[in-house]
Chains A and B, each alone.
Chain A
Amino acid sequence: MLKNTPWLVLTALILAWLGFSQPTQASTNHFSVQTELPSNQVNKKVSYFDLKVSPKQNQTIYIKIKNHDKIAHTYTVATNLATTNDNGVIIYNDLRSKPDSSLTFNIADAVAGKQTVQVAAKSTKRIGIKLELPVTPFKGVALGGINIYQQSTNQDDQPKSGLSLQNKFGYVIGLQLREQTKVTVKPDLKLLTVGPRQVNHRNYVNAKLQNPHANLLHGLKVTSYVTKVGSTKQLLKTTKSQLEMAPNSHFNFALGDGTTELTAGNYQLHLKSSAENGAYQWRFTKKFTVTAAKAKQLKQTTLPDTMPPTNWRLIAFLVSIIVLLLALVIWLLIRHRRQST
Protein backbone atom coordinates (compact mmCIF):
# COMPACT_ATOMS: atom_id res chain seq x y z
CA MET A 1 0.00 0.00 0.00
CA LEU A 2 2.84 2.32 0.94
CA LYS A 3 4.38 1.78 -2.47
CA ASN A 4 1.23 3.00 -4.24
CA THR A 5 0.48 5.93 -1.95
CA PRO A 6 2.44 8.64 -3.85
CA TRP A 7 0.81 7.70 -7.13
CA LEU A 8 -2.69 7.64 -5.66
CA VAL A 9 -2.17 11.04 -4.06
CA LEU A 10 -0.63 12.44 -7.23
CA THR A 11 -3.56 11.17 -9.34
CA ALA A 12 -6.08 12.66 -6.90
CA LEU A 13 -4.29 16.02 -6.92
CA ILE A 14 -4.20 16.18 -10.72
CA LEU A 15 -7.90 15.37 -10.94
CA ALA A 16 -8.75 18.03 -8.33
CA TRP A 17 -6.74 20.63 -10.24
CA LEU A 18 -8.34 19.95 -13.58
CA GLY A 19 -11.91 19.89 -12.30
CA PHE A 20 -14.95 18.39 -13.93
CA SER A 21 -18.01 19.57 -15.78
CA GLN A 22 -21.17 19.42 -13.74
CA PRO A 23 -24.84 19.34 -14.71
CA THR A 24 -26.74 22.61 -14.24
CA GLN A 25 -30.30 23.58 -13.51
CA ALA A 26 -33.16 22.76 -15.85
CA SER A 27 -33.78 25.45 -18.46
CA THR A 28 -37.53 25.05 -18.77
CA ASN A 29 -40.07 27.45 -17.32
CA HIS A 30 -43.23 26.06 -15.75
CA PHE A 31 -45.51 29.02 -15.09
CA SER A 32 -47.29 31.88 -16.81
CA VAL A 33 -49.30 34.92 -15.74
CA GLN A 34 -52.30 36.81 -17.03
CA THR A 35 -54.07 40.07 -16.17
CA GLU A 36 -57.76 40.80 -15.65
CA LEU A 37 -58.18 44.28 -17.04
CA PRO A 38 -60.75 46.35 -15.07
CA SER A 39 -63.30 48.79 -16.48
CA ASN A 40 -61.08 51.82 -15.80
CA GLN A 41 -58.42 50.51 -18.19
CA VAL A 42 -57.48 53.42 -20.50
CA ASN A 43 -55.69 51.67 -23.35
CA LYS A 44 -57.65 48.54 -24.12
CA LYS A 45 -55.20 47.48 -26.83
CA VAL A 46 -52.53 46.50 -24.31
CA SER A 47 -52.68 43.77 -21.69
CA TYR A 48 -50.75 45.46 -18.89
CA PHE A 49 -52.59 47.69 -16.44
CA ASP A 50 -53.11 51.28 -17.68
CA LEU A 51 -55.66 52.70 -15.26
CA LYS A 52 -57.43 56.03 -14.88
CA VAL A 53 -57.65 56.71 -11.19
CA SER A 54 -58.75 59.49 -8.82
CA PRO A 55 -57.31 60.79 -5.56
CA LYS A 56 -58.25 58.65 -2.54
CA GLN A 57 -59.50 55.84 -4.82
CA ASN A 58 -59.35 52.28 -3.52
CA GLN A 59 -59.33 49.40 -5.97
CA THR A 60 -58.29 45.76 -6.17
CA ILE A 61 -56.83 44.55 -9.43
CA TYR A 62 -56.34 40.88 -10.29
CA ILE A 63 -53.73 38.73 -11.96
CA LYS A 64 -53.73 34.98 -12.49
CA ILE A 65 -50.76 32.66 -12.02
CA LYS A 66 -50.89 29.36 -13.86
CA ASN A 67 -48.62 26.59 -12.65
CA HIS A 68 -47.97 24.22 -15.56
CA ASP A 69 -45.76 21.93 -13.45
CA LYS A 70 -46.56 18.54 -11.93
CA ILE A 71 -45.76 19.83 -8.45
CA ALA A 72 -46.99 22.80 -6.42
CA HIS A 73 -44.87 25.94 -6.42
CA THR A 74 -44.64 29.09 -4.32
CA TYR A 75 -44.49 32.48 -6.02
CA THR A 76 -43.55 35.96 -4.86
CA VAL A 77 -45.68 38.87 -6.07
CA ALA A 78 -44.23 42.33 -5.45
CA THR A 79 -44.95 45.73 -6.99
CA ASN A 80 -42.09 48.20 -7.38
CA LEU A 81 -41.50 51.65 -8.81
CA ALA A 82 -40.20 51.75 -12.40
CA THR A 83 -36.66 53.12 -12.59
CA THR A 84 -33.98 53.39 -15.30
CA ASN A 85 -30.76 51.41 -15.07
CA ASP A 86 -27.33 52.29 -16.46
CA ASN A 87 -28.03 50.37 -19.68
CA GLY A 88 -30.91 52.78 -20.36
CA VAL A 89 -33.49 50.09 -19.68
CA ILE A 90 -36.65 50.55 -17.59
CA ILE A 91 -36.56 48.07 -14.72
CA TYR A 92 -39.09 47.13 -12.08
CA ASN A 93 -36.97 45.35 -9.49
CA ASP A 94 -34.62 48.04 -8.23
CA LEU A 95 -35.02 48.16 -4.47
CA ARG A 96 -31.59 49.64 -3.70
CA SER A 97 -31.50 52.98 -5.51
CA LYS A 98 -33.09 56.09 -4.09
CA PRO A 99 -36.00 57.39 -6.19
CA ASP A 100 -35.16 60.37 -8.39
CA SER A 101 -35.40 63.77 -6.70
CA SER A 102 -38.14 64.85 -9.15
CA LEU A 103 -40.53 62.06 -8.10
CA THR A 104 -43.57 63.34 -6.20
CA PHE A 105 -45.72 60.19 -6.18
CA ASN A 106 -44.11 56.78 -5.67
CA ILE A 107 -46.53 54.17 -7.01
CA ALA A 108 -45.03 51.51 -4.72
CA ASP A 109 -46.46 53.43 -1.74
CA ALA A 110 -49.98 53.09 -3.16
CA VAL A 111 -49.84 49.31 -3.65
CA ALA A 112 -50.10 46.57 -1.03
CA GLY A 113 -46.82 44.91 -0.06
CA LYS A 114 -45.19 41.70 -1.19
CA GLN A 115 -47.31 38.55 -1.27
CA THR A 116 -46.31 34.91 -1.19
CA VAL A 117 -48.76 32.56 -2.86
CA GLN A 118 -48.78 28.83 -3.42
CA VAL A 119 -50.31 27.38 -6.57
CA ALA A 120 -51.12 23.69 -6.76
CA ALA A 121 -49.82 21.53 -9.60
CA LYS A 122 -51.51 22.05 -12.98
CA SER A 123 -53.79 24.78 -11.67
CA THR A 124 -54.41 28.53 -11.73
CA LYS A 125 -54.75 30.97 -8.84
CA ARG A 126 -56.30 34.44 -8.89
CA ILE A 127 -54.35 37.03 -6.91
CA GLY A 128 -55.76 40.37 -5.75
CA ILE A 129 -53.52 43.43 -5.49
CA LYS A 130 -54.91 46.40 -3.54
CA LEU A 131 -54.38 49.98 -4.68
CA GLU A 132 -54.92 52.96 -2.39
CA LEU A 133 -54.37 56.30 -4.10
CA PRO A 134 -53.12 59.32 -2.15
CA VAL A 135 -55.22 62.37 -1.38
CA THR A 136 -52.89 64.65 -3.33
CA PRO A 137 -53.45 64.54 -7.11
CA PHE A 138 -50.53 63.79 -9.43
CA LYS A 139 -49.79 64.88 -12.99
CA GLY A 140 -48.75 62.67 -15.88
CA VAL A 141 -48.29 58.94 -15.34
CA ALA A 142 -47.04 56.91 -12.41
CA LEU A 143 -45.34 53.71 -13.51
CA GLY A 144 -44.55 50.55 -11.63
CA GLY A 145 -44.35 46.85 -12.30
CA ILE A 146 -45.87 43.78 -10.70
CA ASN A 147 -43.02 41.26 -10.41
CA ILE A 148 -43.86 37.56 -10.19
CA TYR A 149 -41.08 35.07 -9.47
CA GLN A 150 -41.18 31.39 -8.68
CA GLN A 151 -39.37 30.60 -5.45
CA SER A 152 -36.53 28.10 -5.65
CA THR A 153 -37.10 24.56 -4.54
CA ASN A 154 -34.54 22.62 -2.49
CA GLN A 155 -33.61 20.78 -5.67
CA ASP A 156 -32.83 24.08 -7.41
CA ASP A 157 -30.58 25.20 -4.56
CA GLN A 158 -28.30 22.18 -4.53
CA PRO A 159 -24.71 23.44 -4.61
CA LYS A 160 -22.76 22.67 -7.76
CA SER A 161 -19.06 22.21 -8.33
CA GLY A 162 -16.98 24.63 -10.36
CA LEU A 163 -18.49 27.63 -12.08
CA SER A 164 -22.18 27.25 -12.82
CA LEU A 165 -25.05 29.33 -14.17
CA GLN A 166 -28.61 28.78 -12.93
CA ASN A 167 -31.60 29.86 -14.98
CA LYS A 168 -34.53 31.49 -13.21
CA PHE A 169 -37.74 32.82 -14.73
CA GLY A 170 -40.04 35.68 -13.90
CA TYR A 171 -42.71 38.01 -15.24
CA VAL A 172 -43.30 41.73 -14.96
CA ILE A 173 -46.70 43.26 -15.62
CA GLY A 174 -46.75 47.02 -16.07
CA LEU A 175 -48.92 49.06 -13.73
CA GLN A 176 -49.46 52.54 -15.12
CA LEU A 177 -51.72 54.99 -13.29
CA ARG A 178 -52.95 58.36 -14.52
CA GLU A 179 -55.54 60.85 -13.38
CA GLN A 180 -56.05 62.39 -16.84
CA THR A 181 -56.89 60.20 -19.82
CA LYS A 182 -54.72 62.29 -22.12
CA VAL A 183 -51.25 62.96 -20.78
CA THR A 184 -50.21 66.53 -21.61
CA VAL A 185 -46.81 66.55 -19.91
CA LYS A 186 -44.13 67.14 -22.58
CA PRO A 187 -40.98 64.96 -22.55
CA ASP A 188 -37.84 66.58 -21.19
CA LEU A 189 -34.24 65.54 -20.55
CA LYS A 190 -31.65 67.10 -18.27
CA LEU A 191 -27.91 66.62 -17.85
CA LEU A 192 -27.31 66.66 -14.10
CA THR A 193 -23.59 65.95 -13.68
CA VAL A 194 -20.55 64.82 -15.66
CA GLY A 195 -17.23 63.41 -14.46
CA PRO A 196 -14.94 60.39 -14.32
CA ARG A 197 -16.35 57.17 -12.87
CA GLN A 198 -14.83 53.78 -12.32
CA VAL A 199 -16.99 50.69 -12.80
CA ASN A 200 -15.46 47.25 -12.25
CA HIS A 201 -12.00 48.83 -12.30
CA ARG A 202 -12.62 50.34 -15.75
CA ASN A 203 -12.65 54.07 -16.29
CA TYR A 204 -15.46 55.93 -18.01
CA VAL A 205 -16.75 59.47 -18.26
CA ASN A 206 -20.17 59.46 -16.73
CA ALA A 207 -23.05 61.70 -17.80
CA LYS A 208 -25.98 61.56 -15.38
CA LEU A 209 -29.16 62.06 -17.39
CA GLN A 210 -32.55 62.78 -15.84
CA ASN A 211 -36.11 62.50 -17.06
CA PRO A 212 -37.63 65.09 -14.71
CA HIS A 213 -41.23 64.66 -15.84
CA ALA A 214 -43.98 62.13 -15.16
CA ASN A 215 -43.96 60.48 -18.58
CA LEU A 216 -41.90 57.87 -20.36
CA LEU A 217 -39.10 58.62 -22.78
CA HIS A 218 -39.25 56.27 -25.73
CA GLY A 219 -36.71 55.60 -28.47
CA LEU A 220 -34.00 57.65 -26.82
CA LYS A 221 -30.78 58.12 -28.81
CA VAL A 222 -27.67 59.61 -27.23
CA THR A 223 -24.62 60.74 -29.22
CA SER A 224 -21.73 62.03 -27.16
CA TYR A 225 -18.02 62.73 -27.08
CA VAL A 226 -15.41 64.26 -24.80
CA THR A 227 -12.69 66.76 -25.74
CA LYS A 228 -10.07 68.66 -23.83
CA VAL A 229 -11.28 72.22 -23.19
CA GLY A 230 -10.30 74.34 -26.19
CA SER A 231 -9.64 71.34 -28.42
CA THR A 232 -11.78 69.64 -31.06
CA LYS A 233 -10.08 66.26 -30.85
CA GLN A 234 -12.56 63.65 -29.68
CA LEU A 235 -10.94 61.61 -26.90
CA LEU A 236 -13.91 59.40 -26.08
CA LYS A 237 -17.12 58.96 -27.98
CA THR A 238 -20.16 56.78 -27.48
CA THR A 239 -23.49 56.52 -29.27
CA LYS A 240 -26.43 54.43 -28.09
CA SER A 241 -29.96 54.16 -29.37
CA GLN A 242 -33.24 52.50 -28.41
CA LEU A 243 -32.80 53.61 -24.81
CA GLU A 244 -35.79 54.25 -22.57
CA MET A 245 -36.42 56.13 -19.37
CA ALA A 246 -39.06 55.65 -16.70
CA PRO A 247 -41.01 58.71 -15.53
CA ASN A 248 -39.07 60.82 -13.00
CA SER A 249 -35.89 58.77 -13.17
CA HIS A 250 -32.20 59.13 -13.98
CA PHE A 251 -29.35 56.94 -15.18
CA ASN A 252 -25.60 57.06 -15.72
CA PHE A 253 -24.66 57.18 -19.39
CA ALA A 254 -21.10 55.86 -19.69
CA LEU A 255 -18.75 57.21 -22.37
CA GLY A 256 -15.83 55.11 -23.58
CA ASP A 257 -15.00 51.43 -23.37
CA GLY A 258 -13.21 51.64 -20.05
CA THR A 259 -9.71 51.33 -21.49
CA THR A 260 -8.80 54.99 -22.03
CA GLU A 261 -6.60 56.46 -19.32
CA LEU A 262 -7.97 59.72 -17.95
CA THR A 263 -5.08 62.06 -17.25
CA ALA A 264 -5.45 65.16 -15.14
CA GLY A 265 -6.87 68.14 -17.00
CA ASN A 266 -9.92 70.13 -18.04
CA TYR A 267 -12.39 68.38 -20.30
CA GLN A 268 -15.69 69.14 -22.01
CA LEU A 269 -18.62 66.82 -22.64
CA HIS A 270 -20.64 67.28 -25.84
CA LEU A 271 -23.92 65.38 -25.78
CA LYS A 272 -26.95 65.46 -28.02
CA SER A 273 -30.03 63.36 -27.62
CA SER A 274 -33.38 62.73 -29.27
CA ALA A 275 -36.55 60.85 -28.37
CA GLU A 276 -39.73 59.68 -30.11
CA ASN A 277 -37.96 59.20 -33.46
CA GLY A 278 -36.43 62.68 -33.33
CA ALA A 279 -39.61 64.52 -32.32
CA TYR A 280 -37.80 65.87 -29.26
CA GLN A 281 -34.16 66.92 -29.27
CA TRP A 282 -31.70 68.16 -26.66
CA ARG A 283 -28.09 69.33 -26.81
CA PHE A 284 -25.71 69.77 -23.87
CA THR A 285 -22.11 70.82 -23.32
CA LYS A 286 -20.55 70.74 -19.86
CA LYS A 287 -17.00 71.21 -18.60
CA PHE A 288 -15.42 69.02 -15.96
CA THR A 289 -12.02 68.61 -14.37
CA VAL A 290 -10.01 65.51 -13.58
CA THR A 291 -7.68 66.46 -10.74
CA ALA A 292 -4.18 64.99 -10.42
CA ALA A 293 -5.25 63.11 -7.29
CA LYS A 294 -8.31 61.65 -9.03
CA ALA A 295 -6.28 60.65 -12.10
CA LYS A 296 -3.74 58.88 -9.86
CA GLN A 297 -6.47 57.08 -7.95
CA LEU A 298 -8.16 55.94 -11.18
CA LYS A 299 -4.86 54.68 -12.60
CA GLN A 300 -3.97 52.77 -9.44
CA THR A 301 -7.29 50.97 -9.27
CA THR A 302 -7.61 50.12 -12.97
CA LEU A 303 -7.63 46.47 -13.89
CA PRO A 304 -4.48 45.66 -15.90
CA ASP A 305 -5.13 44.70 -19.50
CA THR A 306 -2.04 42.57 -19.67
CA MET A 307 -0.96 39.77 -17.41
CA PRO A 308 2.31 40.03 -15.47
CA PRO A 309 5.08 38.05 -17.19
CA THR A 310 5.28 34.36 -16.32
CA ASN A 311 8.28 33.46 -14.18
CA TRP A 312 9.62 30.67 -16.38
CA ARG A 313 12.88 30.38 -14.39
CA LEU A 314 10.97 29.59 -11.20
CA ILE A 315 8.74 27.12 -13.03
CA ALA A 316 11.79 25.39 -14.59
CA PHE A 317 13.47 25.21 -11.19
CA LEU A 318 10.40 23.68 -9.51
CA VAL A 319 9.88 21.18 -12.33
CA SER A 320 13.55 20.13 -12.13
CA ILE A 321 13.29 19.52 -8.40
CA ILE A 322 10.05 17.55 -8.82
CA VAL A 323 11.65 15.37 -11.51
CA LEU A 324 14.72 14.79 -9.36
CA LEU A 325 12.64 13.85 -6.33
CA LEU A 326 10.45 11.52 -8.35
CA ALA A 327 13.57 9.86 -9.75
CA LEU A 328 14.90 9.51 -6.21
CA VAL A 329 11.64 7.93 -5.02
CA ILE A 330 11.68 5.47 -7.91
CA TRP A 331 15.34 4.62 -7.31
CA LEU A 332 14.66 4.04 -3.59
CA LEU A 333 11.65 1.88 -4.35
CA ILE A 334 13.65 -0.25 -6.80
CA ARG A 335 16.56 -0.59 -4.36
CA HIS A 336 14.14 -1.44 -1.55
CA ARG A 337 12.54 -4.15 -3.69
CA ARG A 338 15.94 -5.61 -4.69
CA GLN A 339 17.07 -5.68 -1.07
CA SER A 340 13.83 -7.44 -0.04
CA THR A 341 14.29 -10.14 -2.66
Chain B
Amino acid sequence: MKKQLSLTTLSALTLLMIPVATHAATFDGNQDVNSSTATVSITEDTKSLPRIMAAPDISFGSFSNSQAINSTAEKITDNLKVVNADPNYNWTVKLDVSSFVNNENSDNSLADVSLKAAAGTVTFENTNGKKTPVSSALTNSDATTTILRSTQGATGTATHNLAAEDVTLSIPQWSPAGNYTAQLTWTLANAPYSSSDDRKAQ
Protein backbone atom coordinates (compact mmCIF):
# COMPACT_ATOMS: atom_id res chain seq x y z
CA MET B 1 0.00 0.00 0.00
CA LYS B 2 2.82 2.38 0.95
CA LYS B 3 4.55 1.71 -2.37
CA GLN B 4 1.29 2.37 -4.22
CA LEU B 5 0.78 5.59 -2.28
CA SER B 6 4.33 6.80 -2.91
CA LEU B 7 4.09 6.07 -6.61
CA THR B 8 0.79 7.89 -6.90
CA THR B 9 2.08 10.85 -4.93
CA LEU B 10 5.22 10.99 -7.04
CA SER B 11 3.16 10.94 -10.24
CA ALA B 12 0.93 13.71 -9.00
CA LEU B 13 3.88 15.84 -7.99
CA THR B 14 5.65 15.24 -11.28
CA LEU B 15 2.60 16.48 -13.14
CA LEU B 16 2.26 19.41 -10.81
CA MET B 17 5.85 20.33 -11.61
CA ILE B 18 5.06 20.74 -15.32
CA PRO B 19 3.36 24.11 -15.08
CA VAL B 20 5.88 25.17 -12.44
CA ALA B 21 8.80 24.37 -14.69
CA THR B 22 7.39 26.22 -17.66
CA HIS B 23 5.87 29.19 -15.89
CA ALA B 24 8.38 29.70 -13.14
CA ALA B 25 9.50 33.22 -14.06
CA THR B 26 8.55 35.15 -10.99
CA PHE B 27 9.42 38.75 -11.73
CA ASP B 28 8.73 40.21 -8.37
CA GLY B 29 8.32 43.91 -7.86
CA ASN B 30 10.26 45.22 -4.95
CA GLN B 31 9.13 47.77 -2.48
CA ASP B 32 11.32 50.07 -0.50
CA VAL B 33 10.61 49.93 3.17
CA ASN B 34 13.70 51.86 4.15
CA SER B 35 13.22 54.71 6.52
CA SER B 36 15.21 57.06 4.31
CA THR B 37 15.44 60.60 5.55
CA ALA B 38 16.32 63.55 3.35
CA THR B 39 18.04 66.33 5.24
CA VAL B 40 20.47 69.04 4.26
CA SER B 41 23.21 69.73 6.76
CA ILE B 42 25.49 72.45 5.51
CA THR B 43 27.89 74.14 7.82
CA GLU B 44 31.09 75.04 5.98
CA ASP B 45 29.69 76.20 2.65
CA THR B 46 28.41 79.70 2.23
CA LYS B 47 25.47 78.49 0.12
CA SER B 48 23.59 75.24 -0.35
CA LEU B 49 25.21 72.91 -2.81
CA PRO B 50 23.04 71.82 -5.72
CA ARG B 51 21.99 68.28 -5.03
CA ILE B 52 19.69 65.46 -6.02
CA MET B 53 17.96 64.73 -2.75
CA ALA B 54 15.98 61.66 -3.69
CA ALA B 55 14.78 59.52 -6.57
CA PRO B 56 11.63 57.45 -7.01
CA ASP B 57 11.49 53.85 -5.84
CA ILE B 58 9.58 52.01 -8.52
CA SER B 59 8.15 48.55 -7.94
CA PHE B 60 6.34 46.17 -10.25
CA GLY B 61 4.05 43.25 -9.51
CA SER B 62 4.78 39.56 -9.87
CA PHE B 63 4.83 38.10 -13.34
CA SER B 64 4.96 34.78 -15.13
CA ASN B 65 7.06 34.51 -18.28
CA SER B 66 4.36 32.53 -20.10
CA GLN B 67 3.28 35.73 -21.78
CA ALA B 68 4.89 39.01 -22.77
CA ILE B 69 4.93 41.48 -19.90
CA ASN B 70 3.72 44.99 -20.56
CA SER B 71 2.90 46.32 -17.14
CA THR B 72 2.58 49.67 -15.46
CA ALA B 73 4.31 50.10 -12.11
CA GLU B 74 2.57 48.65 -9.11
CA LYS B 75 3.73 51.36 -6.76
CA ILE B 76 6.01 54.41 -6.73
CA THR B 77 7.27 55.87 -3.50
CA ASP B 78 9.37 59.02 -3.26
CA ASN B 79 9.91 61.51 -6.05
CA LEU B 80 12.88 62.87 -7.89
CA LYS B 81 13.81 65.97 -5.92
CA VAL B 82 16.54 68.52 -6.73
CA VAL B 83 17.54 71.47 -4.57
CA ASN B 84 19.59 74.38 -5.83
CA ALA B 85 20.36 77.75 -4.31
CA ASP B 86 22.93 78.85 -6.91
CA PRO B 87 21.53 80.99 -9.78
CA ASN B 88 24.69 80.21 -11.82
CA TYR B 89 24.02 76.50 -11.64
CA ASN B 90 21.81 75.46 -14.56
CA TRP B 91 21.26 71.78 -14.21
CA THR B 92 19.77 68.75 -15.89
CA VAL B 93 18.98 65.35 -14.42
CA LYS B 94 19.94 62.52 -16.75
CA LEU B 95 18.75 58.97 -16.28
CA ASP B 96 20.62 55.83 -17.27
CA VAL B 97 18.83 52.49 -17.14
CA SER B 98 21.15 49.50 -17.03
CA SER B 99 20.24 46.06 -18.28
CA PHE B 100 18.48 43.67 -15.91
CA VAL B 101 21.31 41.44 -14.71
CA ASN B 102 20.71 38.05 -13.10
CA ASN B 103 21.48 38.19 -9.39
CA GLU B 104 22.99 34.74 -9.33
CA ASN B 105 25.01 35.00 -12.55
CA SER B 106 26.05 38.46 -13.67
CA ASP B 107 26.91 37.14 -17.17
CA ASN B 108 23.19 36.67 -17.83
CA SER B 109 20.80 39.53 -18.42
CA LEU B 110 17.32 39.96 -19.82
CA ALA B 111 17.20 40.91 -23.50
CA ASP B 112 14.90 43.45 -25.13
CA VAL B 113 13.58 44.94 -21.91
CA SER B 114 12.08 48.39 -22.20
CA LEU B 115 11.29 50.83 -19.40
CA LYS B 116 9.22 53.86 -20.36
CA ALA B 117 7.94 56.79 -18.34
CA ALA B 118 5.69 59.74 -19.10
CA ALA B 119 6.94 63.27 -18.53
CA GLY B 120 4.99 63.48 -15.28
CA THR B 121 4.47 66.79 -13.53
CA VAL B 122 6.88 69.18 -11.83
CA THR B 123 6.24 71.22 -8.72
CA PHE B 124 8.69 73.98 -7.86
CA GLU B 125 9.22 75.75 -4.56
CA ASN B 126 10.66 78.82 -6.17
CA THR B 127 13.01 81.12 -4.29
CA ASN B 128 13.80 83.70 -6.97
CA GLY B 129 10.76 83.99 -9.23
CA LYS B 130 12.18 82.03 -12.18
CA LYS B 131 10.26 79.51 -14.26
CA THR B 132 9.54 75.91 -13.23
CA PRO B 133 11.99 73.24 -14.51
CA VAL B 134 10.81 71.19 -17.49
CA SER B 135 10.40 67.40 -17.49
CA SER B 136 10.69 64.99 -20.41
CA ALA B 137 9.41 61.48 -21.06
CA LEU B 138 11.60 58.39 -21.02
CA THR B 139 10.95 56.79 -24.40
CA ASN B 140 14.15 54.85 -25.06
CA SER B 141 15.75 53.28 -22.02
CA ASP B 142 18.68 52.03 -24.09
CA ALA B 143 20.27 55.47 -24.05
CA THR B 144 20.68 58.23 -21.47
CA THR B 145 17.63 60.49 -21.27
CA THR B 146 17.30 64.00 -19.89
CA ILE B 147 14.42 63.71 -17.43
CA LEU B 148 14.42 67.16 -15.86
CA ARG B 149 15.94 70.46 -16.95
CA SER B 150 16.24 73.67 -14.95
CA THR B 151 15.34 77.03 -16.39
CA GLN B 152 17.93 79.80 -16.56
CA GLY B 153 18.96 80.96 -13.11
CA ALA B 154 16.13 79.29 -11.21
CA THR B 155 16.71 78.49 -7.56
CA GLY B 156 14.54 76.43 -5.25
CA THR B 157 13.38 72.86 -4.82
CA ALA B 158 12.05 71.00 -7.85
CA THR B 159 9.99 67.83 -7.41
CA HIS B 160 9.24 65.56 -10.36
CA ASN B 161 6.07 63.59 -9.75
CA LEU B 162 5.39 60.28 -11.47
CA ALA B 163 2.25 58.21 -10.94
CA ALA B 164 2.37 54.41 -11.08
CA GLU B 165 0.48 54.39 -14.38
CA ASP B 166 3.12 56.71 -15.90
CA VAL B 167 5.81 54.00 -15.83
CA THR B 168 5.70 50.92 -18.07
CA LEU B 169 7.93 47.87 -18.13
CA SER B 170 7.99 45.56 -21.17
CA ILE B 171 9.64 42.14 -21.18
CA PRO B 172 9.35 39.62 -24.02
CA GLN B 173 7.54 36.32 -23.52
CA TRP B 174 9.61 33.35 -22.38
CA SER B 175 12.37 35.47 -20.91
CA PRO B 176 14.43 33.16 -18.69
CA ALA B 177 13.14 32.86 -15.15
CA GLY B 178 15.20 34.23 -12.30
CA ASN B 179 15.92 37.19 -10.05
CA TYR B 180 17.15 40.30 -11.85
CA THR B 181 18.32 43.76 -10.85
CA ALA B 182 18.70 46.90 -12.97
CA GLN B 183 20.31 50.14 -11.88
CA LEU B 184 18.68 53.51 -12.40
CA THR B 185 21.49 56.06 -12.30
CA TRP B 186 20.30 59.62 -11.71
CA THR B 187 23.01 62.11 -12.65
CA LEU B 188 22.84 65.82 -11.90
CA ALA B 189 24.67 67.50 -14.76
CA ASN B 190 26.03 71.02 -14.65
CA ALA B 191 27.42 71.50 -18.13
CA PRO B 192 26.94 73.51 -21.34
CA TYR B 193 23.36 73.22 -22.55
CA SER B 194 22.12 72.75 -19.07
CA SER B 195 20.34 75.80 -20.39
CA SER B 196 20.51 77.06 -23.96
CA ASP B 197 20.79 80.53 -22.49
CA ASP B 198 24.33 79.88 -21.31
CA ARG B 199 25.67 81.64 -24.35
CA LYS B 200 23.63 84.75 -23.62
CA ALA B 201 25.34 84.99 -20.24
CA GLN B 202 28.75 85.36 -21.88
In the assembled complex, how far is the CB of residue A156 from the closest CB belonging to chain B, in whole angstroms? 10
Cβ of A62 within 8 Å of any chain B Cβ, yes or no, is no
Contacts of B34 in A (CB 8 A): 23, 25-27
Q: How far is the CA of A318 from the CA of B20 in the complex (A)?
A: 12
> CB distance A5 to B145 under 8 Å?
no
Whether a CB of chain A sits under 8 angstroms from the CB of B179 is yes
Q: Which of A295-332 contact B (CB under 8 A)?
A: 303, 307, 318, 321-322, 325-326, 328-329, 332
A333–B8 alpha-carbon span in the complex (Å): 11
CA distance A86 to B142 in the complex (A): 9
Minimum CB–CB distance for B179 against chain A, Å: 5
A6 to B202 alpha-carbon distance, docked (Å): 77
Q: Which of A18, A32, A170 contacts B186 (CB 8 A)?
A: A170
How far does the alpha carbon of A124 sit from the alpha carbon of B181 in the complex, in Å? 32
Interface contact B9-A87, CB-CB below 8 Å: no
Q: Does A145 contact B (CB under 8 A)?
A: yes
Assuming the A-B contacts A16-B20, A19-B26, are A325 and B12 also in contact, with contact meaning beta carbons closer than 8 angstroms in the complex?
yes
Which segment, of A41-49, A102-110, A285-293, faces chain B?
A: A41-49
User: For residue A124, which residues in chain B have a CB less than 8 angstroms away from its CB?
Assistant: 44-45
Q: How many residues on chain A are close to B (CB under 8 Å)?
A: 88
Q: Is A116 an interface residue (CB 8 A)?
A: no
User: For residues 3 through 29 of chain A, which have their beta carbon under 8 Å from a beta carbon of chain B?
Assistant: 5-6, 9-10, 13, 16-29
The tally of CB-CB contacts under 8 A between chains A and B is: 285
Contact of B189 among A6, A20, A28, A172 (CB under 8 A): A172
Chain B residues, Cβ within 8 Å of A16: 20, 24, 26
> Could you say which residues of chain B place their CB within 8 Å of the CB of A172?
94, 187-191
Which A residue's beta carbon lies closest to that of B79?
Answer: A27
Chain B residues within an 8 Å CB radius of A47: 86, 88-89, 190
Given contacts A162-B29, A170-B186, contact A91 B144 (CB under 8 A): yes
Q: Which residues of A contact B181 (CB under 8 A)?
A: 159-160, 163-166
Q: Is the interface of A mostly helix, strand, loop or mixed?
A: mixed
Distance A47 CA – B198 CA, assembled complex (angstroms): 11
- In the complex, the answer to whether B49 meets A46 with C-beta atoms within 8 Å is no
Chain A residues numbered 159-217 whose CB sits less than 8 Å from any CB in chain B: 159-174, 176, 199-201, 216
Asked if A303 meets B36 with Cβ closer than 8 Å, knowing A89-B94, A172-B191, the reply is: no
Compute how far the CA of A299 lies from the CA of B71 in the bound complex, rounded to whole angstroms: 26
* Beta-carbon contact of B201 and A43 below 8 Å: yes
Cβ of A17 and Cβ of B20 under 8 Å apart? yes
Task: Give 9 closest A-B pairs by Cβ, nearest first.
Answer: A162-B28, A174-B191, A19-B26, A45-B201, A32-B49, A163-B27, A159-B103, A19-B28, A164-B30
Q: Enumerate chain B interface residues (CB-CB to A < 8 A).
A: 1-2, 4-5, 8-9, 11-13, 15-20, 23-24, 26-34, 36-41, 44-45, 49-64, 67-68, 74, 77-78, 86, 88-90, 94, 96, 100, 103-104, 111-112, 114, 136, 139-140, 142-146, 169, 172-173, 179-194, 196, 198-199, 201-202
Task: Point out residues on A near B: beta carbons under 8 Å.
Answer: 2, 5-6, 9-10, 13, 16-29, 31-35, 42-43, 45-48, 50, 66, 68, 82, 85-87, 89-93, 122, 124, 143, 145, 147, 149, 159-174, 176, 199-201, 216, 218-219, 242, 244, 276, 303, 307, 318, 321-322, 325-326, 328-329, 332-333, 336, 339
- Can you list 19 pairs linking A and B with CB atoms under 8 Å apart? A6-B9, A16-B24, A21-B59, A23-B30, A25-B34, A29-B186, A31-B51, A32-B51, A35-B190, A46-B88, A86-B140, A87-B143, A159-B179, A162-B180, A165-B58, A169-B52, A172-B187, A174-B189, A329-B5
